[in-house]
A and B are shown apart, each in its own frame.
Chain A
Amino acid sequence: MSGSFEYAPYEEGMEVIGTDILDQILEATGRFDPTSYTDRDVARALDARVLAVEDFAALLSPAAFPFLEQMAARARSERKRHFGNAVSLFTPLYLSNYCQNQCVYCGFNSTNKIRRARLDPEGIERELRAIAATGLQDILLLTGESRTKSDVTYIGEAVRQAARHFNQVGVEIYPLNSDEYAHLHRCGADYVCVFQETYDPVRYLEVHRRGPKRVFPYRVNAQERALRGGMRGVTFAALLGLADFRKDAFATGLHAFLIQRAYPHAEISFSLPRLRPYINNAAENPKDVHEPQLLQVMLAYRLFMPFAGMTISSRERAGFRDNVIDLCCTKISAGVRVDIGGHGEQEAGDGQFELSDPRSVPEVHAAILARGLQPVYLDWIRV
């Protein structure tokens, strides 16, 4: 990635763990030149029994773009081998949209004039009941990144409430210290999703103008702290389109690969958000990540780590989602509301982004069946 840079320094209270995974990611990503690969490299990658990091890099390169069909065929086969025809269903629940950060691409940006809200325990219960009534068993709790408006105690109580209704509870919140992750795990959360946004430290500082999120290494090391805190699964993602998406995808895959090496018991997953229109700045568009590029990244992840979970976001349109669950993705959201209080029909706060697939749980269920796949509501046992 970029040459000389200085990280924003750790803030008081941020845990420093002894790990060299970030150094390895930056070193390898710095050497990754997407333009240096040829057809022969791609063919070798597609023939490899187990893909090496170099093979993964080749599949992310422009040289692999003409091979999308072959990549899709192998991805479909790998997906079937590892997951059969099962597609897991879940939904996110936004608890709060208060945020301390100023991320230029995000609807929750603290300078944006949106309706701010935070669900109280009654509001959370109302939302949880409404979602549980759809039959879902897997929920992802989200907040904006504010340690004052949605502190760890607040999130922990929300997790406890959710665990009474759902077998599987995940969190997608600001990065925590390992003891805080341990607390949430005790409350009932089992997996943690952290979007790194970009692994380019210079671009990272450009787009994260204020707030604790500016501390790049603290964010990169979040998954490792979560696992040290006892979480069972971690999700990796770059916001594709924020920087060079090929390099960010490479760094994301390598990050997951290195974490799996260090923590072989960890359940590894990928998400693939890309820039979509957002409130107060609907003109923003992806720079270069159109559907074919997005699919190329998805397929490369699947071939590199065939055993990993992969979630397809409701930011993508229904037709795209219905196809990728057959090729490479293993998990799909359904009945999604991104506004605060939306499930209980008492909307109080604005959403983070615009949905492209607003289908209900029964509608997504039917779409899965129509593909000859099987919807799975529960694939988790809390032990």
Chain B
Amino acid sequence: MSVQSTQNPTSVAGAVPENDDLIIGGRHFRSRFILGSGKFSLDLMQTVVRCAKAEIVTLALRRANAGGMANILDYLPSDVTLLPNTSGARTAEEAIRIARLSRELHCGDFIKLEVIPDTKYLLPDNSETTRAIEVLAREGFICLPYMYPDLVAARAMCDAGAAAIMPLAAPIGSNRGLSTRDFIRILVDEIDLPIIVDAGIGRPSQACEAMEMGVAAIMANTAVATAGDVARMSQAFAAAIGAGRLAFRAGLGRRLDDRAEASSPLTGFLRDAGAGDEK
């Protein structure tokens, strides 16, 4: 497990460091756009990954038809890091079994934990997910849990050995954007692991906003897959995520109604200096 601070680096050094890698489980990534692969044609995969400049691509292990027809693993570029998910799991035990199967299929040690006991809204079960992390982290998996943004649950996931936290912005596939904005902000402020917004991001501007808030990366699938031009939209997301990250690193200017700073000191009229300052 690695820890990456999401604190604004400029506040310390006053200059933007050149290296701005996303670090998860000890692995370094230049891209902060994690691409989902489940909802567009396999033939487009190479092009979309390239346009997105994605280095991490998720896939549902339930779609990995190893050795069979239309096997998604045959279409993914060999240089991407696979992030298999446990889609289909309803309990911790099922997620654990799918993760182990993923390793047997040589999909690596990264696992995106999805424990979803609800087929209508696809909302995750945070406590079952935490139970799965406890087991899988001990087995050396790099666990990235999909979760409902709840600080208490996120802390428990950290303690269980998660490598990043993936709160939902809105229900999966809804393209509604940052519906859970305030709660994700709390995670960004309080959790030392990378916060990766997963699910609900519908347009590049929403991804950009999340990045400006200080989240470490964005995961998107439906917003890209349902676009008129899938490849071009993946490029737009990559640009927006990059811009949002740059804005975060630059340090956003404060809003005037939010702890505004006056251009002249407001306390310059004071004469009665304390004893320690007497000359």
Q: Which residues does A use to contact B, with CB under 8 Å? A: 77, 80-86, 135-137, 260, 264-268, 305, 307, 365, 372-381, 383
Contacts and interface: CB of A to CB of B under 8 A. Distances in A.
Contact of A264 (B69, B70, B97, B120): B120
Nearest to B42: A374
A375 B62 contact: no
Given A85-B41, A135-B69, A260-B120, 12 more contacts: A80-B225, A81-B173, A81-B174, A84-B221, A264-B118, A267-B119, A375-B70, A377-B65, A378-B65, A380-B88, A383-B93, A383-B94
Nearest to A375: B70
A381 B40 contact: no
Contacts of B97: 383
B8 interface: no
A379 B62 contact: yes
A371 to B, nearest CB: 10
Kindly name the residue among A137, A267, A268, A376 whose own CB sees the greatest number of chain B CB atoms within 10 A.
Answer: A376
Most chain A CB within 10 A, of B41, B64, B119, B226, is at B119
B38 interface: yes
7 closest Cβ pairs, A-B complex:
A84-B39, A135-B69, A378-B65, A381-B62, A383-B94, A265-B117, A377-B69
Interface string B113-157: 000011110100000000000000000000000000000000000
Given A375-B70, A383-B97, A81 B62 contact: no
Query: Interface on chain B toward A: helix, strand, loop, or mixed SS?
Result: loop
Contacts of B94: 383
Contact of A85 (B88, B93, B173, B225): B225
B90 A376 contact: no
B98 interface: yes
B63 A85 contact: no
A266 B61 CA distance: 19
A260 B119 contact: yes
A137 B88 CA distance: 17
Given A86-B39, A375-B70, A383-B88, A264 B119 contact: yes
A375 B39 contact: no
Given A80-B226, A265-B118, A85 B62 contact: no
A373 B88 CA distance: 22
Interface string B171-182: 001110000000
A365 B41 CA distance: 13
Given A81-B175, A383-B89, A264 B39 contact: no
Interface string B205-235: 0000000000000000110011000000000
9 contacts: A267-B119, A374-B70, A376-B63, A377-B69, A377-B70, A378-B65, A379-B63, A381-B62, A381-B88
B247 to A, nearest CB: 29
Contact of B39 (A85, A305, A365, A372): A85
